[in-house]
Homo-oligomer: A and B are copies of this chain.
Amino acid sequence: MTDPTPAHTAALTHWTLTLVCDDRPGIVHAVSGAVVAAQGNITESQQFSSADTNTFFMRLQVMAPVDRATFEDALEPVVQRYDARVQLDVVGRPLRTLVLVSKAGHCLNDLLYRQRGGQLPIEVPLVLSNHPDLQELASFYSVPFEHRPVTDAETKHDMEQRILEAVDELDIELVVLARYMQILSPGLCAALEGRAVNIHHSFLPGFKGANPYRQAHARGVKLIGATAHFVTSDLDEGPIIEQNVVRVDHTKDPAELVSIGQDEESRTLTQAVRWIAEDRVLLDGARTIIFK
């Protein structure tokens, strides 16, 4: 062959490749063959075979001098043969993220601060809130902020329509509920399945009902924490992405527990969003595979 293929002419790109399929022998060989065909070099590789669902999960980072179409062509035989779901992304490309907030700013602040500092590959074209409180914070980071009061069924419906509209118009890939204190309707949960992440406090043992920090204080819990999870219609029961706890003792009153808990919420949510933005989170039934 005398003339260079298109593969030779594209710029060297750092790709993320995730693949999910039924677990069968030979997959690694087939995928690595496709990488060779795309003149790629594997720079990072993780895989996992789930015995629960007989599913094979793989995440590669590949340095390759090809454009997307060429890489996809090289992968096509693998997709066909193994009936694999394959996703190609460019390393470092910012994930288009819609953030929903209410009054508490600790999670939004952490997301925007780290995004601006280059530590979190997201871009935030819009912050939507049912309260005006965080307008100023969003402005400081030059992020558009939209306030829509939610006071009854009708305004709640309007807000949910606006969320879906924004997801559509702004090419949103991830919706982050950064202490958004409204329960999403089942319809919205379904519409955003696998694309929305929530954060909530966590205790050992769990507490139901109002004011869990007060209950935690009354029981003298020694650990409080936070859980980031995908949103599903089953409230706070979606696949867990990340959890953290921190030690507390009897000297902390409920207000201090809230403050400590908020720190855990911020760092846990930011970590979860980072992993999603880096294509490190894959779903295996009701649980997540995290390729750190």
Contact = CB atoms under 8 A, between A and B. Distances in A.
B249 A220 contact: no
A234 to B, nearest CB: 11
A278 interface: no
B51 A47 contact: no
**Interface residue range, chain A:** 35 or more
Nearest to A136: B140
A130 to B, nearest CB: 21
Interface string A18-32: 000001111111001
Given A45-B28, A204-B204, A240 B218 contact: no
A290 B249 contact: yes
A259 interface: yes
Interface in A154-198: none
Nearest to A220: B287
Contacts of A41: 23-25, 49
A186 to B, nearest CB: 20
Contact of A222 (B218, B219, B242): B242
Interface string A225-259: 10100000000110111111100011101000001
A144 to B, nearest CB: 17
Given A29-B32, A202-B205, 4 more contacts: A106-B117, A202-B204, A205-B206, A219-B239
Interface of A: 23-29, 32-33, 35-36, 39-52, 106, 109, 113, 117, 119, 140, 202-206, 217-223, 225, 227, 236-237, 239-245, 249-251, 253, 259, 284-290
